[in-house]
Structure 1
Amino acid sequence: MRILTPFLLFIFLFAVEVHAQETVERTNNGTIILEDFEADPGGDLPQHWYDRDGNKKLVNHDKDFSQHYHYTIRKDAGNKFLRYQGVTAKHINLPLINENKENIYDINLYETPILSWKVRAHELPKGANEKSSDLNDSVASIYVVFDMGRVALVKKVPKSIRYTWSTTLPKGETGSKLFGNQQIIVVESGEDKKGEWVTFERNLVKDYRDRFGDDPPKHPLAILILSDGNSTNSYVKADYDDIMLKPAK
């Protein structure tokens, strides 16, 4: 897996070309539907998601560029979802702020702290381990990017939590990268639930406090998705759906 460097994340967070307010879809109980892929045409890249560096929407790139992103919209029993199948590591990004640092989806994490999403794992990377630089692949990971941290009191890098379905690390395992600015939480492990939709829910406020030791900002900066198998040279296949922020129960 190609780790998203501080430089690339800096570009992403402050150079995204999001000019207009996105349509905010909320349910009756206040849940914010960030992405359910239902508005996307089938068989193509997701229309609201940006490239790895956050420079441009994937659908606005030419084919020579976008062919390296192995994410497509699929439909099954009337439901649309995002599928990754391939080997290479390419994050895709859903900005939650625009270039003016405005809160696109009107998010307040203290009102909707529960991140909910679905994953269906089909093919896991063989022997992968997210805590090892040489084996750092995942069948499915979602990152929440919060704010800017620091390295050596000078250089800033983004603070993020990565929720991952690991091949070898046990469920509940934690770790960190980028000098502690990227926190890893394993939400599922192994192949026991392979082939079935699994819904995950995490309290972002609690996880941020537990992992970083202070309170998160009200407005996260982005959601990132990554599936890959390039470190272990594995073919990987996984589906994503229904990314939401919910009020606490």
Structure 2
Amino acid sequence: MTHFVLRAHSTRSGRAVQQLGLWIGVVALGVALSFPVTGRAQSTSSHEDLAPTIVDNFEDDAPGTFPEGWVFVESDENIRSYEETRDPGEIMEVREEDGNRYVQLVTEGEALRYTKRNGVDFEWNLKDHPRLKWRWRAHQLPEGASERDQNDTGGAVYVTFGSDWLGRPKSIKYTYSSSLPVGTTVSFGPLKVIVVDSAREPRTGEWKTVQRRIRDDYRQVFGERPPDRPVSITLWSDSDTTGDEAKVDVDDIELLPAR
């Protein structure tokens, strides 16, 4: 689906090439993000009076600009900017509607992904904030795409954890699917896909709120207890395999305390 640095370009060599590209891209991202950030205070707060942590609501960004704090992680030592990494057919840009600002992800036969890092751009300990919430709206999803086959995903939120015993990165990819029903899970080794919204559901094209209990999801797909500190959150849009267009809005990414 992508090559080593995840600059997404279409290939038509069959499923084997698609899956190889997917794996290389995920490994490139995961290896870069798998090293713990040192020198950061670990959370020791009581659950009482914990407030939500805002990862991004895009209200401080000017419309028409790339949102501050999101980066392209090429390696642990090489963090690149939007200007350095975007290709024609890729847009990640803040928009404004009725006084609310949000980010819009657009890909035309391409794929993009930009990341915020735990311990650098925000602080996240699952003991204090076990839930992840965001809103999104799908204007267009890549036609004919499937997380099982074509791999394209018009919108996705990645949570990356550490690595498995082979050094492969472990991630959960929450997707807005073109074709698969909500609740579908797909496994690519240590990369787990969970469909949390779908074109098969009503109200496609309207804002929807997604809320996930990260520990529960991790136990479901990996069969073990998650680490307390995820490594990063990544926004993703991908239409390179189908060669189609995707346009998805994302807003109000928050970490929530236990109920």
Same fold flag (TM > 0.5): yes
Q: 1:57 to 1:49 in 2, by over 3 A?
A: farther
The correspondence for 1:137, drawn from 135, 146, 152, is: 152
**Match in the other structure for 2:177:** 166
For residue 30 of structure 1, report the CA deviation from its aligned partner: 1.6
Contact in 2 for aligned 1:35/1:241 (Cα 8 Å): yes
Percent of aligned pairs with the same amino acid: 33
**Match in the other structure for 1:193:** 203
Q: 1:15 to 1:204 in 2, by over 3 A?
A: closer
What per-residue deviation string (whole Å, max 9, x for no partner) do you get for residues 74-111 of structure 1?
A: 1111111010122211211111134xxxxx63322022
Say which SS state the counterpart of residue 181 (structure 2) adopts. coil
CA distance, structure 2, for counterparts of residue 44 and residue 225 of structure 1 = 16
Q: Which runs of 5+ in 1 are unaligned?
A: 22-27, 99-103
For residue 230 of structure 1, report the CA deviation from its aligned partner: 0.9
Contact in 2 for aligned 1:47/1:57 (Cα 8 Å): no
CA distance, structure 2, for counterparts of residue 236 and residue 168 of structure 1 = 14
1:2-13 aligned at under 5 Å gives the runs 2=2, 3=22, 4-13=25-34
What per-residue deviation string (whole Å, max 9, x for no partner) do you get for residues 42-69 of structure 1?
A: 211111101152633525x44xx44454
CA distance, structure 1, for counterparts of residue 26 and residue 196 of structure 2 = 23
TM-score by length of 2: 0.80
**Match in the other structure for 1:106:** 123
Query: Does the alignment pair 1:49 with 2:70?
Result: yes
For residue 7 of structure 1, report the CA deviation from its aligned partner: 3.4
**Match in the other structure for 1:25:** none
The correspondence for 2:162, drawn from 129, 147, 157, is: 147
Q: Which runs of 5+ in 2 are unaligned?
A: 3-21, 42-48
Query: Does the alignment pair 1:90 with 2:112?
Result: yes
**Match in the other structure for 1:248:** 258
* CA RMSD across the alignment: 2.4
Q: 1:57 to 1:41 in 2, by over 3 A?
A: farther
Contact in 2 for aligned 1:142/1:225 (Cα 8 Å): yes
CA distance, structure 2, for counterparts of residue 245 and residue 160 of structure 1 = 17
Hey, which bits of structure 1, 4+ residues long, moved more than 3 A? 12-16, 18-21, 65-69
Q: 1:15 to 1:214 in 2, by over 3 A?
A: closer
What per-residue deviation string (whole Å, max 9, x for no partner) do you get for residues 156-199 of structure 1?
A: 1111111101011111111111x2x1111111111532221000
What is the number of residues matched between the two proteins? 226
**Match in the other structure for 1:73:** 94
Say which SS state the counterpart of residue 240 (structure 2) adopts. coil
